[in-house]
Structure 1
C-alpha cells in the first residue's frame, strides 16, 4: 500500500483498531480512525494509550462512513474495507445463524451486521468503484486466514510476542 513513517492513514470502522495499531507500531505512521460506534472508539482509545500510540492517533466519530471515505479519497488512491458481513448463505430463520451473528455483534461491538450485498450497495451508492470483493471465509487456502484467532498457538499463522 506504500505506507511510510510520515504517512497519514485513515482507518474507517476499524473495530478494535488492530490494523491501526500495527501501522502505528511497525511503520510509525499517523493513523486517524473514523468509526460510527462509541464502544469501539473508546476501546481503541484505551489500546492506543496502552501501546503508547495515542500521540500518533486521532479518533473521530462519523456517520455515513462510506460517503465520507469516498468524499476525502484523493484521486488515484485506494480505500480498503473489510469487516464482518453476512453472506448470501445467511438464513435469518436458522437459530444457529442467528446465534453466530449475535455473538459476532456482541464480541465486536457491532450494532447490527449487514449483508455483503448491503455493504456493496452502500459503496456503489456513494460512487465507489469496487475493484476487489473477496469473502475470506470462502477461501480455499491450505492455511485459513482465521487460524491466528484460535486458542491453539500451534495452529496459528500469525504470532505476536511482546
Structure 2
C-alpha cells in the first residue's frame, strides 16, 4: 500500500504531545490527542470543543474524517457530536474535536488523552445532472429500516 505524505504543523500548545499515530499496523484511523491546557470535565449532556494543536495540509482530492474512539463511547458514553467531522483539503485551521458526554456520569478529558481518530480518504468530485426520472432499483423508495427488522 502506498503511503500518503501529509504536512502537519504543530502549534505551540501541542509541542509536547505526540503526532497522531496508528495504534496498530492495520488501523484505519490515526489517534488524535487532547491539547487542552487544563482538564476539561464534561457533565452528562454537555459538549466541549477540545483542541489538538495540529493543522494539516491535506492534498487536493482528499479529506480527513474525525471519528469517535470506540473505547470512549462504550466505557463513558463520550463521542463526537458531529460525526464524522469533515476536514477539507483547503482548510488550514486547527483541528478541534467536539466531544459530547451522552453517558450518565461526568467525564474528564486530560491533556494527552486520545480523543478521536483521523481517517484520511480520497474524495470523488461529482457534477449533478437533473433528470425527470431515475433508474428503478429493487429497493425503490424504501427508507430507514426498510431492509431489516
TM over 0.5: no
Higher-RCO chain (CA-CA 8 Å, sequence separation at least 6):
2
- More strand by proportion, 1 or 2? 2
Higher helix share: 1
Which of these two proteins has the greater Rg computed from alpha carbons? 2
| TM-score, normalising length: structure 2 | 0.23
